[in-house]
Chains A and B, each alone.
Chain A
Amino acid sequence: MTDKKVNIILSFLFVIFVILGAYQGRNVEFYRECEAFYRWILAVGTQERLFQASEGEQKTGKFVDLQLFDKVSEKAIPLLQNEERIKDSIDNTISYRENFANIIGDISNDPIIWKITTKKEMEALRKEFLKNLREGKIEFSRNITYAEAQESGVNIFNLFFGFRKIAASLIWLEVDRYWHQGLLYRMVPLMRTCVTLDPNFVEAYLIGAWHLAYNATAKLIETPQHLKKWNPKYKACVGEKETFYYLGIDFLKKGIRHNPRDYKLYFDLGFAIYKNKMNDYPNAVRYLTEAVRVPHERWVRRQLYICQELNGQYEEALQGWEDYKNRFPDNPIAPRFILRNQGKIYEKKAQELIKEVEKISDEQIKEEKIKEAENLKKQAKEIWEKLSKEESDPYGEYRLLLMDAMDLYNQGRFLESIAVLDKARWESPSNFDEASDLIIKIKQEANLPLTVSEKKAVLRKAEGDRCQGMPEEIPNSG
Chain B
Amino acid sequence: MKSLLDSIKGPWFIAVYTWREGLRRKTLVGFLILSLLVIFGATFMTSFINQATVGDVSTDMDLKLIKDICVTTISIFGILITIFISASVVPTEVENRVIYTVLSKPVRRFQYLFGKFLGVQLIIIMNLCLMGGLFFIALYIKQQILPTLLLWSVFLTYFEFLIVSALTFAIACASSSSVLPTIAGLFIYITGSLTEYLKDVYNRSGQTGEWLDSIIGYIAYILWNVLPNLQRFSLKTQIINSQPNDPPTDVLIPQLVLYGLIYAVCGYILAYWIFRKREV
Q: How far is the CA of A383 from the CA of B26 in the complex (A)?
A: 78
Confirm or deny: A94 has a beta carbon within 8 angstroms of a beta carbon on chain B. Answer: no
User: Is the CB–CB distance between B49 and A110 below 8 Å?
Assistant: no
Confirm or deny: B245 has a beta carbon within 8 angstroms of a beta carbon on chain A. Answer: yes
User: Is the CB–CB distance between A272 and B237 below 8 Å?
Assistant: no
User: Is the CB–CB distance between A203 and B252 below 8 Å?
Assistant: no
User: Is the CB–CB distance between A22 and B64 below 8 Å?
Assistant: no
- Cβ contact of A267, chosen from B55, B65, B72, B269, cutoff 8 A: B55
Contacts of B45 in A (CB 8 A): 173
Contacts of B129 in A (CB 8 A): none
Q: Which stretch from B29-37, B84-92, B117-125, B197-205 is at the chain A interface?
A: B197-205
Confirm or deny: A328 has a beta carbon within 8 angstroms of a beta carbon on chain B. Answer: no
Residue of chain A at shortest CB distance from B256: A28
User: Is the CB–CB distance between A163 and B75 below 8 Å?
Assistant: yes
User: Is the CB–CB distance between A28 and B259 below 8 Å?
Assistant: yes
Residue of chain A at shortest CB distance from B261: A24
Contacts of A203 in B (CB 8 A): 57, 60-61, 64
Instruction: Kindly identify, within residues 37 to 69 of chain B, every residue whose CB is under 8 Å from any CB belonging to chain A.
Output: 45, 48-49, 51, 53-55, 57, 60-61, 64-65, 68-69
- Cβ contact of B244, chosen from A153, A173, A261, cutoff 8 A: A261
> Are A169 and B68 CB-contacts (below 8 A) given A134-B203, A294-B244?
yes
Q: How far is the CA of A42 from the CA of B243 in the complex (A)?
A: 13
Contacts of B238 in A (CB 8 A): 145, 200
- Cβ contact of A10, chosen from B204, B244, B273, cutoff 8 A: B273
Contacts of B65 in A (CB 8 A): 169, 172-173
Q: How far is the CA of A267 from the CA of B60 in the complex (A)?
A: 15
Instruction: Kindly identify, within residues 124 to 167 of chain A, every residue whose CB is under 8 Å from any CB belonging to chain B.
Output: 134, 145, 149-150, 152-154, 157-158, 161-163, 165-166
Q: How far is the CA of A113 from the CA of B110 in the complex (A)?
A: 49
- Cβ contact of A158, chosen from B60, B196, B234, cutoff 8 A: B196
Residue of chain A at shortest CB distance from B236: A162
Residue of chain B at shortest CB distance from A38: B247
Instruction: Kindly identify, within residues 7 to 32 of chain A, every residue whose CB is under 8 Å from any CB belonging to chain B.
Output: 7, 10-11, 13-14, 17-18, 20-22, 24-29, 31-32
Q: Size band of the A side of the interface?
A: 35 or more
User: Is the CB–CB distance between A13 and B269 below 8 Å?
Assistant: yes
Q: Beta-carbon contacts of A188-222 to B below 8 Å, as 1s and 0s?
A: 00000000000011110011001000000000000
> Are A24 and B259 CB-contacts (below 8 A) given A17-B269, A42-B245, A149-B200?
yes
User: Is the CB–CB distance between A169 and B225 below 8 Å?
Assistant: no
Q: Beta-carbon contacts of A90-115 to B below 8 Å, as 1s and 0s?
A: 00000000000000000100110010
- Cβ contact of B190, chosen from A14, A161, A207, cutoff 8 A: A161
Q: How far is the CA of A149 from the CA of B280 in the complex (A)?
A: 46
- What's the A-B contact tally at a CB cutoff of 8 Å? 158
Confirm or deny: B178 has a beta carbon within 8 angstroms of a beta carbon on chain A. Answer: no
Please report the total number of B residues contacting A with Cβ < 8 Å.
Answer: 57
Q: How far is the CA of A18 from the CA of B264 in the complex (A)?
A: 10
> Are A10 and B241 CB-contacts (below 8 A) given A165-B71, A210-B54?
no
Q: How far is the CA of A386 from the CA of B33 in the complex (A)?
A: 66
- Point out which of B45, B54, B228, B229 has the most chain A C-beta atoms below 10 A from its C-beta: B54
User: Is the CB–CB distance between B234 and A14 below 8 Å?
Assistant: no
User: Is the CB–CB distance between A34 and B273 below 8 Å?
Assistant: no
Instruction: Kindly identify, within residues 181 to 237 of chain B, every residue whose CB is under 8 Å from any CB belonging to chain A.
Output: 190, 193-194, 196-197, 199-200, 203-204, 225-226, 228-232, 234, 237
> Are A10 and B259 CB-contacts (below 8 A) given A22-B225, A166-B72?
no
Contacts of B258 in A (CB 8 A): 24
Contacts of B230 in A (CB 8 A): 162
Contacts of B229 in A (CB 8 A): 25
Least Cβ distance of A126 to chain B in Å? 14
Q: Beta-carbon contacts of B248-267 to A below 8 Å, as 1s and 0s?
A: 10011001101100110110
> Are A259 and B245 CB-contacts (below 8 A) given A22-B226, A150-B196, A166-B69?
yes
User: Is the CB–CB distance between A28 and B232 below 8 Å?
Assistant: yes
User: Is the CB–CB distance between A17 and B266 below 8 Å?
Assistant: yes
Confirm or deny: B9 has a beta carbon within 8 angstroms of a beta carbon on chain A. Answer: no
> Are A207 and B51 CB-contacts (below 8 A) given A10-B273, A149-B200, A201-B64?
yes
User: Is the CB–CB distance between B64 and A169 below 8 Å?
Assistant: yes
Least Cβ distance of B213 to chain A in Å? 15
Confirm or deny: B272 has a beta carbon within 8 angstroms of a beta carbon on chain A. Answer: yes
Confirm or deny: B97 has a beta carbon within 8 angstroms of a beta carbon on chain A. Answer: no
Confirm or deny: B276 has a beta carbon within 8 angstroms of a beta carbon on chain A. Answer: yes
Contacts of B232 in A (CB 8 A): 25, 28-29, 32
Q: How far is the CA of A163 from the CA of B193 in the complex (A)?
A: 10
User: Is the CB–CB distance between B226 and A21 below 8 Å?
Assistant: yes
User: Is the CB–CB distance between A20 and B262 below 8 Å?
Assistant: yes
Confirm or deny: A321 has a beta carbon within 8 angstroms of a beta carbon on chain B. Answer: no
Contacts of A372 in B (CB 8 A): none
Contacts of B71 in A (CB 8 A): 165-166
User: Is the CB–CB distance between A158 and B273 below 8 Å?
Assistant: no
> Are A18 and B237 CB-contacts (below 8 A) given A25-B259, A154-B197, A169-B64?
no
User: Is the CB–CB distance between A27 and B226 below 8 Å?
Assistant: no
- Cβ contact of A165, chosen from B194, B231, B237, B243, cutoff 8 A: B237
Contacts of A272 in B (CB 8 A): 53-54
Q: How far is the CA of A122 from the CA of B143 in the complex (A)?
A: 40
Contacts of B270 in A (CB 8 A): 14
User: Is the CB–CB distance between B243 and A10 below 8 Å?
Assistant: no
- Point out which of A158, A162, A206 has the most chain B C-beta atoms below 10 A from its C-beta: A162
Confirm or deny: A230 has a beta carbon within 8 angstroms of a beta carbon on chain B. Answer: no
User: Is the CB–CB distance between B57 and A10 below 8 Å?
Assistant: no
User: Is the CB–CB distance between B231 and A162 below 8 Å?
Assistant: yes
Confirm or deny: A377 has a beta carbon within 8 angstroms of a beta carbon on chain B. Answer: no
Chain A to chain B contacts (Cβ below 8 Å), 17 pairs: A11-B273, A17-B269, A24-B259, A25-B225, A35-B247, A134-B203, A149-B196, A149-B231, A161-B190, A162-B230, A163-B75, A176-B51, A203-B61, A259-B245, A261-B245, A267-B54, A295-B244
| A contact set with B: CB distance below 8 Å | 6-7, 10-11, 13-14, 17-18, 20-22, 24-29, 31-32, 34-35, 38-39, 42, 107, 110-111, 114, 134, 145, 149-150, 152-154, 157-158, 161-163, 165-166, 168-169, 172-173, 176, 179, 200-203, 206-207, 210, 259-262, 264, 267-268, 271-272, 294-295, 297
